Amino acid sequence: MPKHAYEAVLFDMDGVVVDTERTVAAFWRLLAAEHGFTISDEELEEHVFGRHADHTLKVLFPAIPVAEHGPVYERLRVNDQTLRYAEIPGATRLIGELRAADVPVALVTGAQDWKATAVLAQLGLAASFDVQIRADDIAVGKPDPGCYRLAARRLGVDITRCVIFEDAFSGVAAAVSADGTCVAIGPAVRASRLTAIGALTVVPDLRQTRYEPGRLRVDPLTELPFTQVRARTP
């Protein structure tokens, strides 16, 4: 367990704040079917979930020339903007608790602006983050740690004092490489891999995770100390 107090919380979006795994998988599997092949569960885990679409196209769809990526992005935009989104249980309540306590919070997602905007608007979270890092803010996506380091820098908090909620293997790797403390969200079948990558613990969702004065209670067995060093910047 950590020996110091934390100061901020960073959230991935897909699979952490909003439940999009099924719809993301459906989009890429349909595109694969149109090109005559299938995408395995393992390929989804490694090259879709938590990854920028550029990576997915490059690795899983090498037959699609870069010059033809535009129409794929347009389909993805229309798909993302017309879906109805559901939160990961407990997410909006936890974010509200952190805001009420003036704990700095950031959203760190590889999603394009159109998807992040649609998700946050539907969940009523458009103004809930002090900092937002989206696809266009970073040159290299997860598992590169730059996105989390940038979020911490913009919050004015040392990354080692940040708790990071992630779900994808690539996202956990990014969080750990950035020197943050990562709490992973995922089913029991993924837990051993997520902890092997470096997650402190794995929870199925955020229903048991609560912020109380001076501490973040992740689950009945995991409690992280917090200290308030500054009030939220207006």
| pLDDT tens sequence across 36-94 | 999 998 898 889 887 888 889 999 999 999 999 999 988 888 877 777 888 999 999 99
* Residue in 129, 134, 120 with CA at minimum distance from that of residue 53: 134
Q: What is the pLDDT of residue 234?
A: 44
Mean pLDDT, range 134-150, rounded to an integer: 95
158-188 pLDDT, tens digit each: 999 999 999 999 999 999 999 999 999 999 9
Contacts 24+ apart (CB under 8 A), 75-78: 75/27, 75/31, 76/27, 76/112, 77/112, 77/114, 77/115
> In whole angstroms, what is the distance from residue 207 CA to residue 78 CA?
31
Q: Which residues, in sequence order, are CB contacts of 80 under 8 Å at separation 6+?
A: 111, 112, 114, 115, 118
**Residue 7, Cβ neighbours under 10 Å: how many?**
21
Model's pTM, two decimal places?
0.83
- What are the DSSP E strand ranges found in the chain? 8-11, 105-108, 131-133, 162-166, 181-185, 201-203, 210-212, 215-219, 222-225
Q: What is the pLDDT of residue 3?
A: 61
User: Where on the phi/psi map is residue 223: left (φ > 0), alpha (ψ -120 to 50), or beta?
Assistant: beta
Q: Give the least confident one: 77-81, 85-89, 96-100, 203-207.
A: 77-81
Q: What is the pLDDT of residue 205?
A: 97
> In whole angstroms, what is the distance from residue 125 CA to residue 75 CA?
25
